Amino acid sequence: MTDLSITIGGDAGQGVESSGATLSLAAMRSGWYVFSIQDYRSRIRGGHNFYQIRIASRAVRSHSDPVHLLLALTKESVDIHRDNLAPGAGVLYDDSLKVDEGPVKEQGCLLFPMPLTEIAERHGNRVMTNTAAVAAGAGVLGLSLERLKSVVEGRFAAKGPRVVEANLRVADDAYRMAVERFRGAFRYALHGASPPLSTRDPGGNGGETLLISGNEAFALGAAAGGCRFVSAYPMTPATTIFEWLVRKEKELGIVTKHAEDEIAAVCMAIGAGYAGARALVPTSGGGFSLMVEALGMAGMTEVPVVIVDVQRGGPSTGLPTRTEQGDLLFVLHASQGEFPRIVLAPGTHEEYFEAGWRSFTLAERYQCPVIVLADQFLAASLCTLPSEALSFDAVVRDRGELLDHAALDKLEPGQYRRYRITSSGISPRALPGHPNAVYTVVTDEHDEEGHITEAIENRVQQMSKRMRKLEHARQEMRGPKRYGPEDADLTLICWGSAVGPVVESLPLLEKEGVRANALHFTDIWPFPADQARRALEGARRTVAVEQNYTGQFAKLLRMCTGHEVSHGVHKFDGRPFSPQQIASACLEEVASHV
């Protein structure tokens, strides 16, 4: 079974990201499953960046260690990644770099020096050195040259035919030279291996598979769900959601507003939600911090709005381009007082797509803010999906207790009560503009008509009304999804994007004689306590795997169910878990209790 890991390393400004995306798409078009992540610093030029690509004959949900082929655009890349090279791995680099070959050879790795810069300059400009590196790597791996050239042609099409032709010549030259020099030398090459996916359409995705990032999947789901307004102040790693919707605004009829700051962005979206638009605010933890007071406004006025918090390392500016799961308890309790909110934490690209439309339905059905918790790992990773995985047939656009003009026409003037006390806590909602639905909107406590009052009985009634929504919403919250055998000795508990590496760690544990399964939570609040208790009934020993320091989900689980995990595996260095790291930590935990 094919399962390879490739890393492209170089300085910021050398095109590491575009090179990684090119090789990823070329691998998929060659018929392979792909999962890719990027690691980059929060500066424009200088400093080491790298892009890790996993190529496999089965669907994969995480990157994987060790690395089988390193494409080094700088000498530093060899030094940094040398310790993560597999036995027999290859290191491909420009022969003009002063690479210390001794340590690499001592590890049993192969050196593939190539005149990459010379090839690029021969066909026009040394800036195409990264194209040469990608093409040489494709040649060593045994990927299709025609598929690679189709990707190169598409990526440079906007720059004109001269640039396209020059890059195609570089790719052709570097690929053929690598095959001529190193064919048969690389033990992990794909020559002779049978790719699992269709390659009938060399210029596209074969009509059967997609290579899509998490943020692209969410934006596509939001558009499918009827998003009509998005406002944002750009903040990594959420910005690409906004960028995708901005590019599609005319095509999809979406109003997009680049706000002057995060407070303005969320207030614009709340205003749009009040007017009846399905409104979205993409941000990260620092931006969400500024939105907290307005979040309470949406809670008090019962206006539906969707906020997606794509987490990164904190506090403050923290690690702007890294990943973390540190905002969980914050978003559950953000803003003063108590009011209903719904929190979703999708873990896969398909779940992130679904959250894009489902969040709007929940927001309008329960007339409250919905917060979608993602992170840089899920947002920026590329994953191969079958086209049917993003199911548009499953999209639901339920606007809840929304009165249309026909219903409002039947009311007597003054009869409508926006905040009417109901058994469900959900009051009939009317959009502004109808003469029979004129009401006051205030952020103070108010009566059924929206007028400010501090009366004790009214406060109790209105507060109870709002909070009753949570009990009804809880019935829609999904319990954890189980992966692996029910009778496992070890149960890994995770939430959000940790599911990919966690599930990929299960067969690694199995190889070491540890029978393990995983419980993955996506619906966080209101917490599905009953389903969680049932899922945990047979668990013998539980380990919570989280990308934060304090084990935030484990605390929430104990608070809501009484279950205390046996052990926590935490990672908070800004880099995502690999399956190997999780398996190693779990094996240590098992060994300590033998």
Cα-Cα end-to-end distance for the chain: 33
DSSP reduced 3-state for 492 = strand
d(CA 348, CA 377): 10
d(CA 474, CA 16): 44
Residue 488 clears pLDDT 80, i.e. is over it: yes
Go through 400-426 and write b for each residue having 16 or more CB atoms within 10 A of its CB, e for each that does not: ebbbeeeebeebeeeebbbbeeeeebb
Residue type, position 21, single letter: A
pLDDT at 563 (0 to 100): 98
| Mean of pLDDT values over 45-51 | 89
| Mean of pLDDT values over 53-59 | 96
d(CA 306, CA 440): 23
Go through 202-216 and write b for each residue having 16 or more CB atoms within 10 A of its CB, e for each that does not: eeebbeebbbbbbbb
d(CA 240, CA 214): 10
Residue 342 DSSP code: E
Residue 44 clears pLDDT 90, i.e. is over it: no
d(CA 183, CA 140): 7
| Mean of pLDDT values over 229-252 | 97
- Please write the tens of the pLDDT for every residue from 402-455: 999 999 999 998 899 999 999 999 999 999 999 999 999 999 999 999 999 999
- Please write the tens of the pLDDT for every residue from 152-179: 999 999 999 999 999 999 999 999 999 9
Q: Is the pTM of this model over 0.85?
A: yes
| Mean of pLDDT values over 22-28 | 97
Residue 402 DSSP code: B
pLDDT at 199 (0 to 100): 60
User: Could you tell me the pLDDT band of residue 238, with boundaries at 50, 70 and 90?
Assistant: very high
pLDDT at 198 (0 to 100): 73
pLDDT at 398 (0 to 100): 95
pLDDT at 207 (0 to 100): 53
**Other C-beta atoms within 10 Å of 588: how many?**
11
Question: What percent of the chain has pLDDT above 70?
Answer: 98
What is the helix (H) or strand (E) element at residue 68, kind and residue range? strand 67-72
Residue 395 clears pLDDT 60, i.e. is over it: yes
Q: What is the largest CA-CA distance in the chain?
A: 88
- Please write the tens of the pLDDT for every residue from 293-310: 999 999 999 999 999 999
- 8 Å CB contact between 442 and 274: no
Strands (E), 147-290: 209-213, 229-232, 255-258, 279-283
| Mean of pLDDT values over 261-288 | 98
pLDDT at 183 (0 to 100): 87
| Structural domains present in the chain | 3-207 (3.40.920.10), 211-394 (3.40.50.970), 401-476 (no CATH), 481-592 (3.40.50.920)
Residue 197 clears pLDDT 90, i.e. is over it: no
Of 401, 320, 412, nearest in space to 361 by CA: 401
- Please write the tens of the pLDDT for every residue from 440-468: 999 999 999 999 999 999 999 999 999 99
Of 236, 248, 25, 223, nearest in space to 138 by CA: 25
Q: Which two tokens stand for residue 189?
A: 């090459």
pLDDT at 16 (0 to 100): 95
Residue type, position 526, single letter: P
What is the helix (H) or strand (E) element at residue 177, kind and residue range? helix 161-182
Residue 117 clears pLDDT 80, i.e. is over it: yes
Go through 32-71 and write b for each residue having 16 or more CB atoms within 10 A of its CB, e for each that does not: bbbbbbbbbbeeeeeebbbbbbbbbbeebbbbbeebbbbb
Quick one: how many helices (H) and strands (E) in the chain? Answer: 22, 20
Per-residue CA distances from 468 to 232, 461, 465 (Å): 31, 11, 5
d(CA 491, CA 483): 10
- 8 Å CB contact between 216 and 352: no
Residue 192 clears pLDDT 80, i.e. is over it: no
| CA within 13 Å, CB half, 354 | 15
Backbone angles phi, psi at 474, to 5 degrees: -60, -30
User: Could you tell me the pLDDT band of residue 388, with boundaries at 50, 70 and 90?
Assistant: confident
pLDDT at 203 (0 to 100): 43
Residue 200 clears pLDDT 60, i.e. is over it: no
User: Could you tell me the pLDDT band of residue 42, with boundaries at 50, 70 and 90?
Assistant: confident
In 334-404, alpha helices (H): 349-366, 376-380
Residue 205 clears pLDDT 90, i.e. is over it: no
